[in-house]
Amino acid sequence: MEMTPVPAALQSPFLVPFDGTFRVADAATAPPEAGKQHLKMRLKTASRQLGDLQRRLLANNTYAVLLTFQGMDASGKDSTIREVLGGISPTGCQVFSFKKPTRTELDHDFLWRTSCALPERGRIGIFNRSQYEEVLVVRAHPEMLQNQNLPRVSDSSTFWDERLDSIRDQEKHLARNGVVILKFWLNVSADEQKNRLLRRLDDPDKNWKFNADDVAERQYWERYMLAYEEALNGTSRPWAPWYAIPADCKPFMRACVAELIVTALSGLGMEYPEPDANDLIRFAAARTELMGG
């Protein structure tokens, strides 16, 4: 089966190309435009459209949607998910946040825990972090592999490529079976991350969000950027594209993400199912019964 290429409307300037030429150093962290009120209106419009598209998705029960969010600490994953998807029915979506793997999860292959959380047809699934942690965090901290009980030497020169192969193969399989996959790397700069972490310390209402480990991880920034570059180049494909979204301005980031989701779902051409002849007979009988009661 030939995979449908990304529609022209999705050829965003933030689309990670499919030919392995993406470079983190060239990816913007600052938005090309300002104007918070304009950006908020863009988000409001897209959110309203997304609400209608989500109802059509549920009514059709043919496609599922998987939205994956990755980014460094304080890149805005939680707030983007909340603001972009706050207008859709909670009955039609599911959010999973993947933290440090449990012992049970480590007793399975690295794709197992996210595979168990994949969305059903008609629903939107959201991954706040994902299977990509296994080629990002673990690649930045390869000592973590010692706890994974792997059957072979994990420092093989092909190890990380093989993990990316597994992710890419799974995503292609899902796409062939009607899962619309969109992946967002929220690309925050080191300076903006520092400012956000400081605000968490300075604002008592944000103290609960502060984690000292986030500060410690900053020393591995270059490792993470290398891991992101390899992962995005290895797995951005027409059936599961990555978007490197500038994340230093949250209103811009949210508007971009919302509009990309709307464009992708609009491209499915979903309409509300029309009743057939048998449905019309049942509807007429139901109407008669209701009017008589």
Structure confidence by residue, pLDDT tens digits, 50-82: 999 999 999 999 999 999 999 999 999 999 999
Does residue 1 register a pLDDT over 80?
Answer: no
Does residue 3 register a pLDDT over 70?
Answer: no
Residue 154: pLDDT band with limits 50, 70, 90: low
* pLDDT tens digit sequence for 243-281: 999 999 999 999 999 999 999 999 999 999 999 999 999
pLDDT at 35: 81
pTM above 0.85, yes or no: yes
What count of other Cβ atoms lies within 10 Å of the Cβ of residue 224?
Answer: 18
E strands along the chain, which residues? 64-71, 93-97, 124-128, 179-187, 242-246
Cα torsion through 211, 217, 221, 223, rounded to 10: -140
Of 82, 93, 94, 80, the C-alpha closest to 54 is: 93
